[in-house]
Structure 1
Amino acid sequence: MEIGMTLPSMVHDNEYSRDTTLDWCRLIDQGPFESISVGERTTYPNQEITVLLSAAAALTERVKLYSTIFVLPTHATAVLAKQAATIDVLSNGRITLGIGSGGREHDYIAAEKPFNNRFSRMEHQVHELKRLWAGEPPFTGADPVGPSPVQAGGPPLFAGVGGPKSLARAARWADGLFGQNVGDGNYANFSQYVENAQRLWEGEGRKTKPYITTSFWYALGPHAKTQLEHYAKSYMEILGPGAVDYILSQQSISSETALINALDTFEAAGCDEVILVPTSAETAELDRTILALAKR
């Protein structure tokens, strides 16, 4: 099983700076990680996803680049196709586009896009992305949307999905799956999730199995539990106090042992890659993570 790392761009308290991007990209590319991920929110104090992915493409040579995830219906399809193709060229074919519909209406309002019918709109956008990357113009009489991607047919598309309906829809077009777990990683049903995904892919006549990833928040160091809870509360407070209280009750990956146990759990369940989501922007946290992984 591969292990990836997320840039800590969602960390509050003005911890994320220019040096954060420079240092984390360098250390991730040198370290035991196979990918570097960037998430997206609009109405939140994080840095913008395409800019960070472009920086990561220029600052790294080895690791895969993941968007985890673009909220696709908040984007103009042709513009995102151009941005993704540009990052594909800049990274020499290392970008995988994670896309989903999201669940925060605030982001849609800020992007001046309708929240209703976002699922059906996203499916249409998926087909448009593939068509544009194949060199077809966005409409009759227009020039194609360039540049041509390095990867034939465009970057792979991974679906950020939750429930069974979205998983079934993803089986029609996705190359893989991006998931997120907000608890302690001990999910007895994850192996069932893997089996369901593979069965749905087969049912759609897909010739390859989906590449299945998951992710979770974690913290290490002297104040790990407090750090983890602070991050979770800040990130999820938009959902209201009830949801926040539940999510806080599930946070337990705040030690080396808990981190290693969670990774082992997902590997045994058939996960292809776990993407770690740090809750601190300090490079010392990344150093602690590398040391912990060396003990696994």
Structure 2
Amino acid sequence: MTMPVMEPDLDSTLLRDWARTIDEGPFSSLCWGERIAFPNPDSLTLLGALAAWTERVRLVTTVIVPQLHDPVLLAKALATGDVLSGGRLTVGLGVGGRAEDYRAVGADPATQTMRKMAEAVAIMRRVWAGEKVTEAVLPVGPAPIQPGGPALVVGTIGPKTLRSAATWAQGLAGITMDLDVAKQNELFDVARQAWQQAGRGKPYLATSFWFALGDQDNARDQVRRHLLRYMNWIPAEFVESIAPTTGWAGTEDELAEVLRGFQAVGTDEVHLIPTSSDVGQLRAVADVIAEVSPVA
């Protein structure tokens, strides 16, 4: 389950209630995304709070853009999050889809490439290994709980990007706009082949989609309103054109059926993205998840 960080009017009480409800189960992971030029909470600050508010669930960034950060400071922050969470952190990384976020922090949009992301990953891995990356007396710490650092997954929907990440990522944290299970499995096959060719074994395979529970008209309108707010860098008329077929809207039973479809093609996790901060919808989805894939 993804935190409702892109919704309006957030406060610490609401975020804490979501985190603790997710942690109660049966969700396997708690996710949250990063934006800069938007009123969402800062991802790395939130990581510390989420580590304190939860005890069981895995924490997954979906995704952080390393080119928006100094890689050494990012490595230190993520290692701190791994320590505070007791080694429960998985780091999803991506190049990002918004040049405005790069400009907001003074980063060069020309670095919005897989090569630059891989370079940042290499530096972070050196920091987590305890290597000196500067002339400091001591290496940059703290040491992460997980040997070698938090697990890394790549956030992408493109085969080329996915293949290039096979050398450093443990798998994929993607997104499906239209919930086409067969098309998603084609991307999973690309990952399976790329990881095999890289001698990396079986990749972790995750996808995500926006959701809203309720009767079809109201739930679909909820998704639409969320997309118009979230996709504010895209012309509104384009968002309106894709809103009827983007994400999922419907009843609990229909959601269970969709999740079983992804389960059948070997999806390790589905990261559900809320289109409302209503904790009631979160609890309703928890009941669906318990039925589809109970957590031991």
Q: Please indicate, yes or no, whether the TM-score normalized by the shorter chain is above 0.5.
A: yes
Shift of 1:186: 2.9
Aligned match for 2:147, one of 148, 152, 173: 152
Query: Retained in 1: the 8 A contact 2:34–2:64?
Result: yes
Alignment pair present for 1:194 and 2:188: yes
Distance 1:251 1:259 in 2: 15
* Paired position in structure 1 for 2:109: 115
Higher mean alpha-carbon deviation, 58-67 vs 255-264, is at: 255-264
Report the identity percentage: 40
Aligned match for 2:84, one of 65, 86, 90: 90
Aligned match for 2:203, one of 210, 214, 222: 210
Which has the bigger relative contact order, CA under 8 A and spacing at least 6? 1
Aligned match for 2:171, one of 147, 160, 176: 176
* Paired position in structure 2 for 1:266: 262
Shift of 1:70: 0.3
Aligned match for 1:51, one of 45, 59, 62: 45
Aligned match for 2:2, one of 6, 9, 12: 6
Shift of 1:201: 0.7
SS of match in other structure, 2:162: helix
Which segments of structure 1 move beyond 6 Å, counting only runs of 4 or more? none
Aligned match for 2:243, one of 244, 248, 251: 248
TM-score, normalised to structure 2, is: 0.93
Alignment of 1:61-80 (within 5 A): 61-80=55-74
TM-score, normalised to structure 1, is: 0.93
Shift of 1:142: 5.2
Q: What's the RMSD between the two structures over aligned residues?
A: 1.5
Distance 1:8 1:81 in 2: 25
Aligned match for 1:282, one of 247, 259, 278: 278
Distance 1:36 1:212 in 2: 16
- The alignment of Structure 1 onto Structure 2 pairs a total of residues equal to 288
Alignment pair present for 1:130 and 2:125: yes
What CA deviation, in whole Å up to 9, does each residue of 1:70-125 have, x standing for no partner?
A: 01111100111000000100000000111111010000000110010332211111
Distance 2:136 2:27 in 1: 45
Please list every run of 5 or more consecutive structure 1 residues that lacks an aligned counterpart in the other structure. Answer: none
Equivalent AA in structure 1 for residue 64 of structure 2:
F
* Paired position in structure 2 for 1:143: 138
Measured at CA, do residues 44 and 154 of structure 1 come closer, stay the same or move farther in structure 2, by a change above 3 Å? same
